[in-house]
Amino acid sequence: MNDLRELHRRVMDVSTSVVAQVRPDQLGLRTPCSEWDLGQLLAHMIGQNHGFAAVAHGETRDRSVWADRPVVHDPAKEYAASAERVVAAFAADDLYDREFWLPEVRGGVTLPAETGVSFHFIDYVVHSWDVARAIDVSVSFDEEVLAAALPIAEAVPDGANRTAPGAAFQPGLAVSTPETFDRVLALLGRSSAWTANSSAP
């Protein structure tokens, strides 16, 4: 895999532009993440940004760095600050010499930093779409980002783990479209046809 960090930065730029469109009065909206409304999804995304930044800097014990961070006043500002922090943390020249402590993965594991970057990358491709669908705006990624996202999505295990409480992704869906983004979403349990008024996953 080529260095994913430039593509990750692009994803975070897109996610920041999407979240910038969220109004405080929209935080109760339904999202494709069935367990979370929009405010809860953003709290998760902000918390994960801070968590990944902390482990990139060497945190290995304090689970509180991963805690959700509820949006209080300004969704755009609070999210942008967290996104800037994780992008800066991932930019360290020696990042790939480090390991990431991931207490929420398989009961707690330590993995190569490059693997950790790929986890965050694919999460934020999908969660950017989740936020966009919740507020009914468009979101897109360039073909280089999507070409990198597809094999990562294909490698995510699909089975009973997807139905466990708090699972990162829902069971994969069949998809007939050749569109790469639709295939990524389907592999991770999202239907590109989802709307706030639909019953689609």
Residue 130 lies in a domain: yes
How far from the centroid of its chain's Cα atoms is residue 138's Cα?
A: 17
Our count of domains for the chain comes to 1
Per-residue pLDDT averaged across 113-130, rounded?
A: 97
Tell me which residue of 67, 103, 61 sits closest to 82, measured CA to CA: 67
Residue 117 lies in a domain: yes
Residue 36 lies in a domain: yes
Give me the pLDDT at residue 166, please: 56
pLDDT tens track for 171-200 = 677 877 789 999 999 999 899 999 888 655
Indicate if the pLDDT at residue 168 is higher than 70: no
Q: Burial code of 63-85, b = ≥16 C-beta within 10 A, e = fewer?
A: eebbebbebeeebbebbbebbeb
CB 87 within 8 A of CB 94: no
Confidence of residue 1 (pLDDT cuts 50, 70, 90): very low
Return the CATH number at 45: 1.20.120.450
- Could you tell me what percent of the chain has a pLDDT over 70? 92
Full residue range of the structural domain in which residue 55 is found: 5-136
Residue 39 lies in a domain: yes
pTM over 0.85: yes
Residue 179 lies in a domain: no
Reduced 3-state DSSP string for 160-188: HHHHCCCCCCCCCCCCCCCCHHHHHHHHC
The residues, any chain, with a CB within 8 Å of residue 187's CB and separated by 6 or more, are: 150, 153, 154, 156, 158, 172, 173, 175
pLDDT tens track for 84-93 = 999 999 999 9
